[in-house]
Structures are given as C-alpha cells and as structure tokens.
C-alpha cells in the first residue's frame, strides 16, 4: 500500500487526508502543535462560517486574479458539496446574512470531532508535536517531543498554513525550506487585517462598540460590513473586506450615511440650526448615533461652510490611520506558493510528488465563507492529485 505524509493538521491537510484515505492510500498527518485544527477552532469561536451559498460566478469572483487556477479545485468541491459533507458529519447547516453558511451549533468543535473520528475510522494516523524541518532525498525530517526523527513516504501533501497566527501554528517557517528547494515564493502580506488607528482622547469612551450602518471603500474594494473600535484601531468584517485596497495604497473612505444621497444629506443640513451646536445639528437632522457622530468629528473637522461640501465629506470621509495591523494579527495572508510553481494538480514542479494546499498557496479572499471554501477545496484537490500521481506508478 502506498503511503502519503500530510504535513499540517488544519482543514486543508485534513481534507487531503480524507480523500486519500477514501482512495485506499495509507495516510499519516503530522502537526507541529499538540492538537489538530487549532486555527479552525479559533475561527469557529465567533461562529464557524464554513462556506458561502452564493452562485458560483459570485463565489469565484471573490478570488480575483487567483480564480482561474483555483477554479478546478473549487468546482470539484463547491459550496453545495461542502454543505453536504458537513451534513454527513452530523452538522445541521443554515444560511445567514449575505449568504454565509454556518453549522446550526455555530461552533467548529462538534464538526472537528466528527471529522477526526471519520479519519480515524479510515485508518488515518496522527503525529502531533512533530514539526517538519526539511527533507533529504526521500526522507522527511522532524523535530519531535523526544528526538529528531526521519520518515519515508511515497508522496507528500503540504498544508502548512500562511504566516499569521503563529501561536496557532501558521508561522510561515516552511517558506525557507521551499525556497532552499528551488521554489520561488510570493512575499507574505496581511490579508483580512485590522487597521491601526491612533484615536484622540474623546474616542476612548466609545472603544469596544460596534460601528454599523456605514460603507467602506478602498480603491475598488467596497463593503457594507460592520467594524468594532478597539484600543489599537478598527477590527471586523467591514474593514477586513477592504484591507487589500489599503495594503495596496488606496485611501480608505467611510460613508457615514450610505442610504442617503449627497443631495439628501445637504438638504437636511440646510435646515435651520437654531441654538443647536453643529454637533447636535448633525445628530438631529441626520439621525447619527453617538459612534458615527464621534467619527464625523474625529475625521471631518475642520468643517467647510457649505452644506453640500459637508454632505460630500460625510459621504466620503477619509479615514486617518497608520496602516494595517501586523502580519501575525491578520486573519489570513496573501503570498506563498504561486500558481507558476505548481502543476494543475497542485504538485510542485520543482519537487515531483510534493503537493501544496490551503492558505500556503498564493491566493486571498475576503471573509464570508470564501477562505474555508478554498482551503477545503484545494486540500481535496491536492489529495486527489497525489492519488493520481501514485496511481501512475510514480514514487
């Protein structure tokens, strides 16, 4: 029986292990951390957004320039297939806002437990606290809790994650190993990242509050999502969705009144102010909640005299910030193994028999179910590729 090493115990690695074990391949999963799926579990703490129920044209558009080469993997295990798979693991699913799909339990832990039980029944073995350190010839080298170890296998699937959340296992340390093997990598960069903002003192009382009813724009990236003010800046889906535009140098704008036109806002502002302060006038005629009003004051002053000019500013308010939060704080990363380094089955051209999957590939997508969709799909695609490669007598 052929045997394959899966290095990385996140969703991409487990998806590869599952499809290979179902094909009759002996699989062993190696994970540097004490347990599998740690980032997967963390993602599920706020509700496990497993996929997105939008039509495939919409889903694929979220991957932008990577869509063409990711398409075979995602079409081979699309959003409907993911729902069927999760349902088969005993998870009742539902569609939430903006077509996001969640397990009814919301958490990742029930799904992960059922998944690991299925893999165990398929004969998949696990090695935890085994950190991959490289290879020589057909040998894989590991640091283990006891002594350094070497392992032999017929093929390898690498599913090592990106370079964010190092404490959960995604530290990008594998990049040097692949570089030494002749693979040219795309530099890592934060994706779905929060924003660093140096708040003035009058904003402190509002920290921790959710910012709703606004729209964001950075270049051609747009969002109507929420954000939360934190001591360090802005976090949340609304910001994550436009963080790529910020990373690429576009000015970030917030529309505090996305459901009103400039003319509507100007007409309301032109109403008599009476004895109200300007701030109270904004609050009353525009129905601004305290948080949006505070942001208007934070980033809008000094105010122009003309109502139309004020309206334009409120509708396109430049966000003053100090850039994205550091790479290790990002939800995910751009960069990694580019399509040019891979064949259509996600095998490294520089290292036959070695396949790559998940976030270590050079693609990015906004939150909303698209991240896990591509991780699961590329994991299964790489696993199928390894089975095909072994079936041709390679290795």
Tens-digit pLDDT profile for residues 192-204: 999 999 999 999 9
What's the burial of 275, exposed, middle or buried (CB within 10 Å: 0-12/13-18/19+)?
Answer: exposed
Q: How far apart are CA 394 and CA 392, in angstroms?
A: 6
Q: What local confidence, expressed as pLDDT, does residue 43 receive?
A: 83
Q: What is the DSSP letter of 304?
A: P
What's the pLDDT tens digit per position in 315-333? 999 999 999 999 999 999 9
DSSP β-bridge partners for residue 65: none
Residue 146: other Cβ atoms inside 10 A: 7
pLDDT level of residue 136 (50, 70, 90 thresholds): confident
pLDDT per residue as tens digits for the range 18-51? 999 999 999 999 999 999 999 999 987 878 999 9
| Mean pLDDT for the stretch of residues 163-185 | 94
Q: Model confidence at 69, in pLDDT bands (50, 70, 90)?
A: very high
Q: What is the pLDDT of residue 30?
A: 98
What pLDDT is stored for residue 395 in this prediction? 45
pLDDT tier for residue 241 given thresholds of 50, 70 and 90: very high
Q: pLDDT over 70 for what percent of the chain?
A: 99
What span, in angstroms and rounded, lies between the C-alpha atoms of 129 and 143?
A: 8
Strand runs labelled E in 236-299 = 252-255
Strand 125-128 vs strand 26-31: parallel, antiparallel, or unpaired?
Answer: parallel
Residue-wise pLDDT tens digits, 281-317: 999 999 999 999 999 999 999 999 899 999 999 999 9
Q: Kindly tell me the number of DSSP H helices and DSSP E strands found in the chain.
A: 14, 21
Has this prediction a pTM greater than 0.85? yes
Check residue 162 and give its pLDDT.
95
pLDDT of the residue at 227: 96
List, for residues 73-90, the tens digit of each pLDDT value.
999 999 999 999 999 999
395 or 108: which leads in pLDDT: 108
Domain layout of the chain by residue ranges: 3-189+334-391, 195-318
| Euclidean distance between CA atoms 314 and 253, whole angstroms | 10
The 10s digit of each residue's pLDDT in 335-364 is 999 999 999 999 999 999 999 999 999 999
What is the CATH code for 3-189+334-391? 3.50.50.60
pLDDT beyond 60 at 229: yes
CA distances (Å), 147 to each of 8, 141, 142, 144, 151, in order? 20, 11, 9, 6, 13
**Distance in angstroms (rounded) separating the CA atoms of residues 329 and 165:** 6
Would you say residue 394 has pLDDT above 80? Answer: no
Q: How far apart are the C-alpha atoms of 270 and 281, rounded to whole Å? A: 10
Can you give the pLDDT at residue 46?
A: 79
Residue 351 burial (10 A CB sphere; 0-12, 13-18, 19+): middle
What's the mean per-residue pLDDT of the chain? Answer: 96
């Amino acid at each position: 029986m052929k045997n394959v090493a899966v290095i990385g115990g996140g969703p991409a690695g487990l998806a590869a292990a599952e499809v290979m074990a179902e094909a009759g391949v002996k699989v062993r999963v190696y994970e540097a951390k004490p347990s599998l799926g740690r980032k997967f579990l963390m993602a599920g703490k706020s509700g496990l957004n497993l996929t997105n129920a939008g039509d495939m044209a919409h889903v694929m558009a979220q991957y932008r320039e990577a869509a063409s080469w990711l398409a075979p993997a995602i079409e081979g295990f699309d959003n409907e297939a993911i729902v069927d798979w999760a349902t088969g693991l005993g998870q009742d699913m539902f569609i939430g806002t903006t077509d996001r799909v969640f397990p009814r339990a919301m958490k990742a832990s029930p799904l992960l437990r059922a998944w690991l039980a299925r893999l165990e029944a398929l004969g998949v073995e696990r090695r935890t606290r085994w950190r991959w350190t490289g290879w020589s010839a057909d040998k894989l080298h590991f640091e283990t809790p006891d002594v350094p170890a070497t392992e032999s296998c017929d093929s390898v699937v690498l599913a090592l994650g990106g370079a964010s959340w190092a404490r959960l296992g995604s530290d990008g340390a594998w990049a040097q190993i692949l570089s030494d093997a002749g693979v040219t990598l795309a530099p890592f960069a934060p994706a779905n990242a929060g924003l660093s903002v140096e708040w003035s003192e009058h904003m402190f009382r509002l920290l921790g509050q959710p910012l709703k009813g606004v729209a964001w724009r950075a270049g051609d990236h747009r969002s109507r999502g929420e954000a939360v003010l934190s001591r360090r800046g802005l976090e949340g889906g609304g910001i994550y969705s436009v963080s790529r535009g910020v990373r690429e140098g576009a000015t970030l704008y917030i529309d505090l009144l996305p459901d009103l036109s400039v003319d509507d806002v100007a007409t309301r502002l032109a109403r008599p102010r009476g004895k109200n302060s300007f701030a109270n006038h904004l609050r009353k005629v525009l129905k601004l909640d305290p948080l949006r009003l505070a942001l208007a004051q934070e980033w809008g002053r000094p105010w122009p005299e003309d109502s139309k000019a004020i309206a334009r500013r409120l509708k396109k308010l430049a966000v003053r910030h100090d850039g994205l939060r550091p790479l290790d704080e990002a939800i995910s990363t751009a960069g990694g193994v580019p399509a040019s380094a891979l064949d259509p089955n996600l095998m490294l051209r520089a290292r036959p028999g070695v396949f790559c999957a998940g976030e270590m590939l050079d693609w990015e997508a906004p939150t909303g179910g698209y991240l896990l969709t591509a991780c699961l799909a590329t994991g299964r695609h790489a696993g199928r590729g390894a089975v095909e490669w072994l079936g041709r007598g390679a290795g």
